[in-house]
Chain A
Amino acid sequence: MAEKISLSDLNKTLTEMNVQSLEGLKIEGDVEIDLEMGAGGVGPLFAYYFGQEAAKIAMQLINFAKAVGYPVETLMQPVAVASAIAPAPKDLAAAAAAVPAFKVASALASAKFSVGTDKTWKHPIQEVTLGATKADGGSRGHVVKLGGEKAMPFFPDAIMPHAPKITMDVFDMPIGMAKAVKMHYEDVINAPGEWAKKAVKQFGADMVTVHLISTDPLLKDTPAQEAVKTVEEVLQAVDVPICIGGSGNPEKDPIVLSKAAEVSQGERVLIASANLNMDWEKIGKACVDNGHVCLAWTQLEINSQKELNRKLMKVAGVPRESIVMDPTTAALAYGLDFAYSNMERIRLGALKGDDELTFPMSSGTTNAWGVRESWMVRSPNKDDSDWGDRMLRGPIWEILTGYSLAMAGVDIFMMMHPQAVAYLHEITQSLMGRIEAKATDANAWLKMGV
Chain B
Amino acid sequence: MSDLIAQLAVFGIVNGFGYAIAALGLTIIFGVMRIVNFAHGEFYMLGAFVAATLIATTGVPYLVAIPLSSVVVGVIGIASERVFIAPLHNRSHLTLLLSTLAISMIFLNAAELIWGSAPRVITSPFEESLYVIGPVFLTGQRVFIVAVGIVVVVGLGLFLKYSTAGKIIRATAQNPEGAALIGVNIGLVRSMTFGFGCGLAALSGALLAPISMTYPVMGQALAIKAFAVTILGGLGSLPGAIIGGLTLGVVEAIAGGTLSTAYRDLFSYAAIIIVLLLRPQGLMGAAR
Asked whether A and B interact, the reply is no
- Chain A residues with CB under 8 Å of chain B are none
- Chain B residues with CB under 8 Å of chain A are none
